[in-house]
Amino acid sequence: MLPAPRADLVPNTFDYEIRPLVKATGFREYDARWLFGPEINLLGIQALGLGLGTYIQELGQKRIVVGHDFRSYSLSIKQALTIGLVAAGCEVLDIGLSVSPMAYFAQFDLDAPCVAMVTASHNENGWTGVKMGAQKPLTFGPDEMGRLKEIVLKGEWAERPGGSVQHVEGVAERYIADVASRASLKRPLKVIAACGNGTAGAFAPEALRRMGVATVIEMDCDLDFNFPKYNPNPEDSVMLHAMAEAVRRYDADVALGFDGDGDRCGVVDDEGEEIFADKIGLMLARDLSVLHKDATFIVDVKSTGLFATDEVLKANGAKTVYWKTGHSYIKRKTAELGALAGFEKSGHFFFNPPIGRGYDDGLVAAAAILSMLDRNPDKKLSDLKKALPVAFTSLTMSPHCADEEKYGVVDDVVREYTEFANAGGTILGRKITDLVTVNGVRVALEDGSWVLVRASSNKPELVVVVESTQSEDDMRRLFREEVKPRLAKRSQVGAYNQEI
């Protein structure tokens, strides 16, 4: 029996070679992520597989899809994970090199309830992790991650006979065919496919061609796990600037950027301007609400307030629900409410049938964006963006606050804003019309402006975002005259990573 993991092992020692190393910090709210070497070793990954296998057996399951992204060490990590899963009595279906949505697709394709995708997503080299689920199309949330953490760190796994591993061919081809069927373009479009030398480069260009894209210009689509230019992260300014330059050089209609594991899609328009994911979500919601009357959309609390005030959505009977930030939370809420789509500001898009299967997939999002352009043949993407109401949104600002204190601080801020609103308080002369408290507090004002304070899910920080419907200056005032002074009264709140 594998011994229980320790957290104090160091590489290049005898104990490191014979015992599992697993640092507790790697268990996040909805996935697991470690620095490979100093925070987890291969025996630690095996222990994770044993724990995951034990947990899914507790849930009455044993059939599980595994895949891995394109990193120099991901295959060996997947193999160590597989050893643990097999020891726990699981039927492992290994689909090989894949993007995360391909692993989620394989749950449907192979009729497997569970998934374990080895990926560090867009993190820098050195990181590894696993995205897991036991109920398609959902991935684990805090309750599941908490139970898994308990089993692994305490060594409370159970070995069972009957485990097996099967290497499954053909999933990649079926996945590409499936995502390509989500669009059938008639408009001749020139599209930049930006992959940052990450895993999506093996699949995205072919899928876009099969959707009917007239000209696909491949940008850093050759796989290279050294990531020689930049991390494959469409929220990263370096990748976005490269996409914008490519749009201008090739006079393209749009650049679509895919992250390291292919579950997110970033967008640069025909003028070389980035469109943040929440604004893309609003454009898609406008487009889809014409085809699907009275649709429900889920957006995270960091997203623009325009979803709540947009006249086009109102005219089409659309309803928007603001929910907790985090891809697992938005995915679950989209499924729970049977919403047509869910949008997270980080670039995770979730489409339920008939558009998608409910999980986040950068290529399904790309199909929806391209189909929107196809349905508006007389408009460029920049035209659709300019048709949106104007809102001035801040950067995401994160003041330091210790992990042990951040949730208490946020609870206190929620209480203070609640009392302030109940007493008829105003912010820069505007009445408070709504408080959304599912994830910190989002304070909505009568003109559609808002401020947000929440705790970071995975760092010792708070998260602050403000948006004004009036002006850039008003947006700055909402931060400098309202949120910053309110937080400054609390000694637990430290310096900001960036400020407006």
Round to whole Å and give the CA distance between 465 and 452.
5
Q: Cα angle at 347 between 389 and 138, to 5 degrees?
A: 125
Round to whole Å and give the CA distance between 360 and 338.
15
| 394 flagged as catalytic | no
Strand, helix or coil at 235?
Answer: coil
Neighbours of 30 (CB within 10 A): 22
Strand, helix or coil at 244?
Answer: helix
Report whether 146 contacts 116 (CB < 8 A).
no
Catalytic position from the list 100, 121, 371, 456: 121
Q: Where are the alpha helices (DSSP H) in 26-73?
A: 42-58
Beta-bridged to residue 426, according to DSSP, are 431
Distance from the Cα of residue 453 to its chain's centroid: 20
Write the CB contacts of 164 (distance below 8 Å, at least 6 apart in sequence). Answer: 86, 91, 92
Token couple for 491 = 């000694």
Round to whole Å and give the CA distance between 77 and 19.
16
Nearest of 452, 227, 232, 496 to residue 345 by alpha carbon: 452
Token couple for 67 = 């895949």
Q: What is the dihedral of CA 165, 169, 175, 178, to 10 degrees?
A: -120
Q: What is the DSSP annotation of 132-198? A: EESBTTB---HHHHHHHHHHHHHT-----S--EEEEPPSHHHHHHHHHHTT----S--EEEEE-TTS
Round to whole Å and give the CA distance between 219 and 322.
35
Round to whole Å and give the CA distance between 202 and 348.
20
Round to whole Å and give the CA distance between 416 and 490.
12
**Catalytic amino acids?**
121
